[in-house]
Amino acid sequence: MFKNSVDKENIAVMYLRLSKEDGEKVESNSISNQREIINSYAKKNQFIIIKEYVDDGYSGATFDRPNFKEMINDAYDKKFDTIIVKDLSRFGRDYIEAGKFIQRIFPENRIRFISVNDNYDSKSADMNDTHLILPIKNFINDSYCRDISNKVKSSQKIKREKGDFISAFAPYGYKKSEENKNKLVIDEQAAPNIKNIFDMKLMGYSSKAIADELNHLGVLTPRKYKESQGFKCNGFQNIKVGNWSAKAVNRIIENEVYIGNTLQGKSITLNYKNKKQIGKDKEEWIRVEDTHEAIVSKEVFAIANTMLKRDLNNSRGKDKIDIFTGMLFCKECGSSLIRRTVKYKEREEVFYICSKYNKEKSCSRHSIKEEILIKAVSKIIKTYIEFNEKLYSKVRLIDINRNLKDKQIPILKREKAMTEELLSSLYLDLKEDVISKEEYHLFRKNYMEKLTKLDESIQYRVKRQEDTKDKIDKNKSWIIDINRYKNLSEIDRLSVVMLIDKIYISEDKTIDVRFNHTEELSLLEEMAKTDKTKFKNDIIAKKSIATNGNPKAIPTIMNKSLVSAESEVCYG
Banded model confidence at residue 280, pLDDT cuts 50, 70, 90: confident
Residue where a domain terminates, one of 446, 465, 484: 465
* Closest by Cα among 196, 172, 561, 195 to 384: 561
- In the sheet that holds 538-547, the strands lie side by side as 328-330, 500-505, 510-515, 562-566, 550-559, 538-547
Among 10-24, 92-106, 261-275, the least confident range: 261-275
Q: How many Å apart are CA 432 and CA 193, to the nearest integer?
A: 78
Per-residue pLDDT tens for 96-140?
788 889 888 998 899 999 999 888 888 887 644 445 456 556 655
Which of 319-328, 410-419, 508-517, 534-543 is predicted most confidently? 410-419
For residue 166, is it within any domain?
A: no
Q: How many residues does the chain have?
A: 572
Instruction: Check which CATH number belongs to the domain holding 206 and give it.
Output: 3.90.1750
Banded model confidence at residue 518, pLDDT cuts 50, 70, 90: confident
Does 425 have pLDDT greater than 50?
Answer: yes
User: How many C-beta atoms surround the C-beta of residue 13 within 10 A?
Assistant: 20
Q: pTM for the complete prediction?
A: 0.58
Q: How many Å apart are CA 210 and CA 221, to the nearest integer?
A: 13
What per-residue confidence (pLDDT) applies to 120? 86
Say if residue 144 is in the same domain as residue 193: no
Say if residue 298 is in the same domain as residue 218: yes
Helix (H) or strand (E) holding 512: strand 510-515
Say if residue 141 is in the same domain as residue 180: no
Phi (first) and psi of residue 339, to 5 degrees = -90, 135
**Helices (DSSP H) in 120-217: which residue ranges?**
129-162, 191-202, 207-217
Phi (first) and psi of residue 527, to 5 degrees = -60, -45
Say if residue 184 is in the same domain as residue 133: no
Say if residue 199 is in the same domain as residue 275: yes
For residue 185, is it within any domain?
A: yes
For residue 480, is it within any domain?
A: no
**197 contacts 249 by C-beta, under 8 angstroms:** yes
- Residue with more model confidence, 315 or 401: 315
Q: Which domain holds residue 117?
A: 8-149
Taking all residues of the chain, what is their mean pLDDT, rounded to a whole number? 80
Give strand ranges (E) for 242-373: 262-264, 267-269, 277-279, 286-288, 328-330, 337-344, 347-354, 368-369
Say if residue 124 is in the same domain as residue 178: no
Banded model confidence at residue 152, pLDDT cuts 50, 70, 90: confident
Say if residue 16 is in the same domain as residue 136: yes
DSSP conformational letter for 548: T
What per-residue confidence (pLDDT) applies to 342? 87
Average pLDDT over residues 294-312: 89
What per-residue confidence (pLDDT) applies to 462? 87
Query: How many domains is the chain partitioned into structurally?
Result: 3
By CB atoms closer than 10 A (0-12, 13-18, 19+), residue 116 is buried
**214 contacts 244 by C-beta, under 8 angstroms:** yes
For residue 332, is it within any domain?
A: no
What per-residue confidence (pLDDT) applies to 270? 58
- Residue with more model confidence, 553 or 278: 278
Say if residue 214 is in the same domain as residue 117: no
Angle at 400 between CA 398 and CA 401, to 5 degrees: 135
Say if residue 19 is in the same domain as residue 94: yes
Alpha carbon 370 to its chain's center? 39
Residue where a domain terminates, one of 425, 443, 465: 465
Per-residue pLDDT tens for 225-259?
998 888 766 554 445 557 999 999 999 999 999 99
What per-residue confidence (pLDDT) applies to 144? 65
What per-residue confidence (pLDDT) applies to 118? 82
For residue 299, is it within any domain?
A: yes
Average pLDDT over residues 302-326: 80
For residue 291, is it within any domain?
A: yes
What per-residue confidence (pLDDT) applies to 344? 73
CA distances from 62 to 70, 102, 155, 466 (A): 15, 15, 21, 51
For residue 530, is it within any domain?
A: no
